[in-house]
Amino acid sequence: MTMAAILISVLTVGVVSVLSIRRESDRSSVQEMRLLCENCRSGIDESLNSIEQSVDVIARYALEEMSSVALLDGGVIGVDGRGSAVLDRSAEQRTDLDLYLHEHSEKLETLCLSVAERTNGVVSFYYRINPELSLREKGFFYTKTDSASFVSEKPTAIGYYAPDDIEHVGWYYIPMERGRPSWLQPYYNANLGVRMISYVAPLYKAGTFLGVIGMDIDEQTLIDRVRDVKIFKTGFAILMAEDGTVVYHPFVEAGQHIPWKGTPLETAMKQMIAESNEAKPMRYEFQGDARQMFFTGVRCGLELILTAPVREINESGQRLINRIVCLLAVIIVVFFAIVTALVRHVTDPLKRLTEAAKHLAGGNYDVRMDYHRNDEVGTLTKAFEQLVSHLQVYISDLNSKAYQDAMTGVRNKGAYEMSARKLDDTIRLAKADGEEPAFAMVMFDCNNLKAINDTYGHDKGDVYLRTACRLICDVFRHSPVFRLGGDEFAAILTEESYERREVLFRTFGEEAARVSEAAPEPWEVVCVAKGMAAYDPALDDSAESVLRRADEAMYADKKRSKAARGQTEPPRGESA
């Protein structure tokens, strides 16, 4: 019976193992291809993202520096770049606007040159002014296709080419038509004589089309990255445009279409990717060879594809299957000879291990094992003990994170509620014993948070909150500090801190004033309304009552502070 059980078990394990290996081989191959594809895409996207950020920064600067008044005085408000506006301008208006655009272009040129020199992969950059604004001021154009540094070139004469002439002026008209910053698919730039990819931002001010700002990268830069990608023995990467045109393929000439593009295979694959975040094997036939593929989108709209033969993907798995079959045959022969001696030696410690696992499943993490032999069960026991130890650390870490505010590092509202319940218990016990607990609460509210968020961004608002929180923690260093809401903090004062509460409260105001005077930036100023209340058995029956009185005192402080600054306090509950 034992031998029959062994045979059945070994054969079952063998079959399951073979099936699992094949399934795992498929899964791991897709995972490997996906990771490689994602890594390649990330490298490409990183370069493209730096160009996007550079252009966006320059575009924002250009719009900030452009005066709507100058456009109005120049008589060009409403010009859309399509020649639809009828301009009635005097010679003086044209001269003044030309002078203004010249100065504006010079400022922008200095910034563009500095940014472009620090942005990897840029081969040219430009600012082309809408010809409807000025026939004299065209902007600037720099390139370094034939040199190590950027060289100024004559801007393209927009009016010489038709709007659909992609090779000469596509970089100008396409972003204008789209009305938003965007990437242009790979194209041949006849002005420079190279194939490139462009990121261009159209500029609009007061309903007026000012022109475009853009940067170009050589298409070869992306091709070089893709060419170096290798998967398995003969697998390779492909770079393709949205319309199916090949940008790079080791065996297909650029400009042609991949055979399966536009077929049901592509539709099925895109649907699969859209329905699941996990990559799954996609098999297809190419020139009689079964292949597996994976693809993802690149930031500029291109598609990155990895493909490899299925036989190469399964090669390592098949070798492992052959080894497993041989090993199973040896196990069947040898196992029967030693099973009888091992049964009793193994089952007893396994029973103890099972009992320990039941205790663990029941929530008892203090289980201990007394089996420490240097055998398989001993190894399993050590692993079990390590698992229990890791679980204890993990659960302890989860408990600590559950009561910690992620942004400031102080305790959160959940931790405050737990502390408040403990204070309520202390109050009840003290009343039963005829005693009076001694504690106080300080409530803080960070003023002007909304103004800082709206003016400087939420990241500066976070700096503002952390600066205020750090000062609270420094002054009330012997008391727990809690973040109760977006801009509200509280501290519970006991023992020595309670005895020195008035001194600490006053010190905080002085330190806040000192920090604010020395702050170089508005978001580093500590403008905090504060209120304090000590437990009074005649007024309070709970910790919440003390916090409420501290909150009222804080609100009164906020009103006094705003009255001193000449501001009107909004009704309680509205954002200040």
CB 217 within 8 A of CB 144: no
**Whole-angstrom Cα distance, residue 66 to residue 70?**
8
Confidence of residue 505 (pLDDT cuts 50, 70, 90): very high
**Whole-angstrom Cα distance, residue 309 to residue 286?**
9
Predicted confidence (pLDDT) at residue 515 exceeds the cutoff of 90: no
The secondary structure of 390-453, three-state, reads HHHHHHHHHHHHHCECCCCCCECHHHHHHHHHHHHHHHHHHHHCCCCCCEEEEEEEECCHHHHH
Query: Mean per-residue pLDDT for 42-51?
Result: 86
Query: Mean per-residue pLDDT for 130-140?
Result: 90
- Choosing from 221, 245, 275, the residue where a domain stops is 221
Q: Of 445, 446, 457, 466, nearest to 552 (Cα)?
A: 445
Query: Does some domain include residue 537?
Result: yes
Q: What is the CATH number of the domain that holds 446?
A: 3.30.70.270
**Whole-angstrom Cα distance, residue 69 to residue 62?**
15
- Choosing from 221, 254, 284, the residue where a domain stops is 221
Q: Of 152, 183, 187, nearest to 168 (Cα)?
A: 187
Using the structure block, give the residue that is written with the tokens 């005192």. 553
Confidence of residue 572 (pLDDT cuts 50, 70, 90): very low
Query: Does some domain include residue 493?
Result: yes
Task: Give Cβ neighbours of residue 376 (< 8 Å, ≥ 6 apart).
Answer: 346
Confidence of residue 574 (pLDDT cuts 50, 70, 90): very low
Q: How far apart are the first and last CA of the chain?
A: 81
Query: Does some domain include residue 289?
Result: no
Mean of all residue pLDDT scores within the chain:
83
For the entire predicted model, the pTM comes to 0.51
Q: What is the CATH number of the domain that holds 200?
A: 3.30.450.20
Query: Does some domain include residue 41?
Result: no
Query: Does some domain include residue 544?
Result: yes
Confidence of residue 279 (pLDDT cuts 50, 70, 90): very low
- Choosing from 221, 237, 258, the residue where a domain stops is 221
Kindly report, residue by residue over 204-246, the tens digit of the pLDDT: 998 899 999 999 988 888 888 888 888 888 888 888 887 778 8
Query: Does some domain include residue 73?
Result: yes
What is the structure's pLDDT at 325? 81
Query: Does some domain include residue 481?
Result: yes
What is the structure's pLDDT at 423? 92
Q: Of 214, 146, 157, 154, nearest to 180 (Cα)?
A: 214
Query: Does some domain include residue 254?
Result: no
State the residue range of the domain holding 203.
66-221
Number of domains in the chain: 2
Query: Mean per-residue pLDDT for 247-259?
Result: 80
Task: Give Cβ neighbours of residue 320 (< 8 Å, ≥ 6 apart).
Answer: 21
Confidence of residue 290 (pLDDT cuts 50, 70, 90): confident
> C-alpha angle with apex 56: 116 to 523, nearest 5 degrees?
110
